[in-house]
């Protein structure tokens, strides 16, 4: 059985497969909202999926996958645990660590600019930007 439950803030869909109980889903929604609803984070969208394996002999029958967009950065977090509560706690820790990293890294400070022959701008020695097609 697969179901969806969506809330407006933040725009993250919480999905589940298997016989995941409502208490675990409520606990997961609370923990996910605590991490992703913090002030100072850019817009967050994506999906968190919680799965309870049908095989009872599995050592870690609970698994979770989070595929999120925080601003312009993509975050993927995976977790496997023996119980639903442990799973949600582990997922919360991983999401917090990665969202902190994504929030504090600026995209414009890393990487190189495109050269003029690929559409980048040209700066003269005075710091003025010139159009690459004009002389």
Q: pLDDT tens, 69-94?
A: 988 889 999 999 999 999 999 999 99
With contact defined as beta carbons under 8 Å apart, do 21 and 3 qualify?
no
Token code pair at residue 84: 């639903």
Cα torsion 81, 86, 88, 94: sign: negative
Q: Which residue has the higher pLDDT, 46 or 108?
A: 46
| Element of type H or E holding 115 | none
Whether cis (ω within 30° of 0) applies to the bond prior to 91 is no
Q: Which residue has the higher pLDDT, 42 or 15?
A: 15
Is pTM beyond 0.75? Reply is no
């Amino acid at each position: 059985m697969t179901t969806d439950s969506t809330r407006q803030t933040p725009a993250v869909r919480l999905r589940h497969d298997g016989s995941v109980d409502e208490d675990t889903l409520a606990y997961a929604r609370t923990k996910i909202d605590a991490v992703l609803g913090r002030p100072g984070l850019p817009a967050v969208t994506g999906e968190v999926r919680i799965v309870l394996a049908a095989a009872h002999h599995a050592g870690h029958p609970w698994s979770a996958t989070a595929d999120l967009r925080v601003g312009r950065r993509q975050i993927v977090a995976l977790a496997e645990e023996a119980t639903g509560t442990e799973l949600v706690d582990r997922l919360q820790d991983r999401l917090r660590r990665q969202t902190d990293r994504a929030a504090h890294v600026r995209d414009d400070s890393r990487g190189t600019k495109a050269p003029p022959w690929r559409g980048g701008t040209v700066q003269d020695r005075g710091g003025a930007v010139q159009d690459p097609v004009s002389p």
